[in-house]
Copies of this chain bind each other. A is one copy, B any other.
Amino acid sequence: MKQPTLKLKDELDSHALATASLESLYRIFTVPEAPNSTLGAIDKEISDNLMGFLGDRIVARERSLTAIEEDFSNPQIPEVPQFVSDYTDFVLDKLVAHSVHTSAPGFIGHMATPIPYFMLPLSRIMVALNQNLVKIETSKAFTPLERQVLGMLHGLVYERDDVFYRENLHNSRRALGIFCSGGTTANLSALWVARNQMFRATSDFGGIAIEGLARSLKYKGYDDVAIVVSERGHYSLSKAADVLGLGRNNVISVKTDQNHKVDADAMRAKCVELQANNIGIIAIVGIGGATETGQVDPLDKLAAIAAEFNTHFHVDAAWGGPTLLSNTHKHVMASIELADSVTIDAHKQLYVPMGAGMVVFKDPTAIAAVEHHAEYILRAGSKDLGQYSIEGSRPGMAMLVHAAFHIIGRKGYEILIDQNIDKAKAFARMIDAQDDFELITDPELNILNYRYVPAEVQAKLEASSHQQQKVINEILDRANKRMQKQQRAGGKTFVSRTRFSQYKYGGEAVSVFRVVMGNPMTTLETLGAILEEQLDLATRKGTAEIIEEIAALSN
């Protein structure tokens, strides 16, 4: 065979490039931002003093959304490139200034946790490497790293022995979990696996993944399928039911007891009813730290029901899962190891930046139910993580979880989590000690609810009929909503609000404040100031008048 030669020279000569403008464009890839440039200075400012940057650069007072929208209203992609320094000025004035200081100690309304300093340079390494975890060819060591992180989380939940992890951790035919962009995708993935396992392939049926839901129901002879969960279940479960083709009506909502935990007897009764109606149960979902109240369902009882009805048991521990890292409090999550799958978010109580959720599976072969391949990647037998994930291309966020596990360690997390729970309980006692607040949920973990109810109104409520209570609560709802909006607009502190049924008031829903304790910098003084501000708002024009309405009601 002759030795081949290349005919390159001619090609090069004939290939005329528009070098002038191209060169200036090359610079954005090849010339670093100067340290004394606007962007370089901001970079240093954040690295040197993150809380200072956030505190100084985000303006505290609320600007109307309409005014902010003005700055983001041009629908044209700019024709001509802008100087980086000019763009940076825009970002600081128009974007950063009107962002939300989610890591302010007084921002206790949502599941937004502050990030440790080491996350900043590590995120830069992640962005710089720009790996794509869909496949080994674009991620290499990041793939084993992600599998290890999922294994660590699996170990936290299921505590299997070394032999188990040696056999499964890096086994191309097994997967201990799926790394996702967040808890919603993790819940969706878990229910996808549960649905597909229920309708798996047999000798005369290709399985739901291949044949679809309609044929699957026919094959199994079901009239429909359902997911059973507490009325406190996260909205992502209904969304998953929509996406998976099950329908939101088929998320069967079960009432909660006086402790805001699902009523296991009622749940079992629903399952009996579904079975009698020839409706297949895809999964029973337990909550490991409800989004609104923080309560943990009786997981042991739910596991028993799932076993009785031979269905998948999923636990949504997106928020509460890391409680397992605390020897002091992990008993609250007892029996979680009975779950077939568990969702835990890393961008919540693992203190990782936004964009990291995970679901782990008890059975490392369960995931085969959603396995898929493609010719150019994800070849069967490969270790490509994209074979199991609902997402395709995705970043190496697992690195930041790996870092947090090592740098904070189990003991470090224990301290953080214990503090969060202690503070929530202390705040509950502070609220209880106040005459003009009603504690709605006594925190089991670190989320709680309360509302403003002046002492006189509390007395009146207790003495009222159910119908009268309803009227009073409607007026209180208006007052509490108003206060929450004013406090948010004030920009100093933030609690969120929600609305859910109250066992105490015969199942009627009321509007309540919602507090999530996740910021180590939040102190009892911060919490005291939040209550002070609320009491001050309560006496202001508007709210005071609303409350007067209750006094004016005839008994």
Our pick among B2, B115, B208, B535 for the contact of A247 (Cβ within 8 Å) is B208
Our pick among B148, B370, B547 for the contact of A72 (Cβ within 8 Å) is B148
Known: A15-B524, A40-B121. A410 touches B78 (CB 8 A): yes
> Is A333 an interface position by the 8 A CB rule?
no
> Is A444 an interface position by the 8 A CB rule?
no
What per-residue 1/0 map shows which CB atoms of A357-378 lie under 8 Å from chain B? 1000000000000101111111
Compute how far the CA of A404 lies from the CA of B130 in the bound complex, rounded to whole angstroms.
16
> Is A255 an interface position by the 8 A CB rule?
no
Q: Which residues in window 33-61 of A have CB below 8 A to B?
A: 33, 35, 39-40, 42-43, 46-51, 53-54
Residues of B within 8 A of A236 (CB): 392
- How many residues on A have C-beta within 8 angstroms of the other chain's C-beta atoms? 214
Q: Most B CB atoms within 10 A — which of A65, A249, A292?
A: A65
Known: A29-B114, A53-B128. A68 touches B419 (CB 8 A): no
> Is A94 an interface position by the 8 A CB rule?
yes
Residues of B within 8 A of A266 (CB): none
Residues of B within 8 A of A498 (CB): 375-376
| A95 engages B17 (CB within 8 Å) | no
> Is A152 an interface position by the 8 A CB rule?
yes
Known: A409-B81, A411-B79. A137 touches B373 (CB 8 A): no
| B395 engages A43 (CB within 8 Å) | no
| A235 engages B129 (CB within 8 Å) | no
Q: Which of A178-186, A294-302, A303-311, A461-469 contacts B (4 or more CB under 8 A)?
A: A178-186
Compute how far the CA of A132 lies from the CA of B93 in the bound complex, rounded to whole angstroms.
20
Known: A75-B154, A215-B224. A7 touches B430 (CB 8 A): yes
Minimal beta-carbon separation of A206 from chain B (angstroms): 7
Compute how far the CA of A435 lies from the CA of B7 in the bound complex, rounded to whole angstroms.
10
Residues of B within 8 A of A109 (CB): 137
> Is A380 an interface position by the 8 A CB rule?
no
Residues of B within 8 A of A524 (CB): 8, 11-12, 15
| A130 engages B145 (CB within 8 Å) | no
Q: Which residues in window 131-179 of A have CB below 8 A to B?
A: 131-132, 136-145, 147-148, 151-152, 154-156, 162, 165-166, 169-170
| A95 engages B142 (CB within 8 Å) | yes
Compute how far the CA of A425 lies from the CA of B128 in the bound complex, rounded to whole angstroms.
29
Known: A12-B524, A132-B354, A415-B21. A32 touches B53 (CB 8 A): no
Known: A117-B29, A244-B244, A394-B355. A75 touches B4 (CB 8 A): no
Q: Which of A97-105, A256-264, A270-278, A334-342 contacts B (4 or more CB under 8 A)?
A: A97-105
Residues of B within 8 A of A455 (CB): 2
| B426 engages A11 (CB within 8 Å) | yes
Known: A121-B33, A156-B77. A182 touches B405 (CB 8 A): no
Compute how far the CA of A142 lies from the CA of B96 in the bound complex, rounded to whole angstroms.
9
> Is A238 an interface position by the 8 A CB rule?
yes
In the complex, what residue of chain B is closest to A148 when comparing beta carbons? B72
| B393 engages A54 (CB within 8 Å) | no
Compute how far the CA of A245 lies from the CA of B539 in the bound complex, rounded to whole angstroms.
54
Minimal beta-carbon separation of A30 from chain B (angstroms): 7
| A127 engages B131 (CB within 8 Å) | no
| B407 engages A28 (CB within 8 Å) | yes
Q: Which residues in window 174-209 of A have CB below 8 A to B?
A: 181-185, 188, 192, 195-196, 206, 208-209
In the complex, what residue of chain B is closest to A324 when comparing beta carbons? B77
Given contacts A33-B118, A68-B141, A212-B241, could you give 17 more A-B pairs where the C-beta distance is less than 8 Å?
A22-B419, A25-B408, A26-B520, A29-B114, A47-B124, A75-B155, A76-B155, A79-B409, A95-B399, A115-B128, A181-B391, A192-B243, A208-B247, A235-B374, A244-B245, A355-B395, A375-B498
> Is A549 an interface position by the 8 A CB rule?
no
Minimal beta-carbon separation of A468 from chain B (angstroms): 20
| A132 engages B120 (CB within 8 Å) | no
Q: Which residues in window 303-339 of A have CB below 8 A to B?
A: 325
Known: A75-B155, A141-B72. A136 touches B28 (CB 8 A): no
